[in-house]
Structure 1
């Protein structure tokens, strides 16, 4: 029984290929941080996990905060204003949590440029028959 030819493998490939590409790019960015800034891969992983946890907490607080009308009583006469501004602040916080670029010391796959076509220098023959490469 071969694992590479089954229908389950073919069904999983559209999911696995982008995930593998993301993991490779993320790993290369961890190595880049180690080389350029001296941030060890373990520390970069800790930065990534911490940033992920902060973003998840912000999203959770924003989503669950929509149902907390009892907290508005704490603001007394400003309860109406807070009730009006709360969804706006939550939308801004959710947008920042989802779309803000990672910090400089955090690895991110989006920093690794993807090259679809490998461009090789064009070869041309000189009058004496020797190939020369132009860049």
Structure 2
């Protein structure tokens, strides 16, 4: 057991020390803007993840226990986030009308609730000739 602990500590040091030594002088010249609201609306997949995240926070606040209640909450959050994205002109919602914005929210809600995978939703969009334009 003692050898395993020593091996674990040495392996951590073996990988961590060179990384810390090599990366200490690096600095970014451009500001790092990863988590802007526009990034959550960039693709259908990122909108799906954002719906799951917001639904989890709202569910923690409301403390909904039943499965159907969580489903309705997720659908409501998806449509609300889609409307907010359309009003503010973010991501994939900026260049489409209200009908398509709500359709994208509906499809993202399908993925967020586990009803469909993102591949099935993309095929459905192609079938309806409504491909998502990524800018």
Give the alignment's TM-score, normalised by structure 1.
Answer: 0.27
**Greater strand proportion:** 1
Give the alignment's TM-score, normalised by structure 2.
Answer: 0.27
Larger RCO: 1 or 2 (CA < 8 Å, sep 6+) = 1
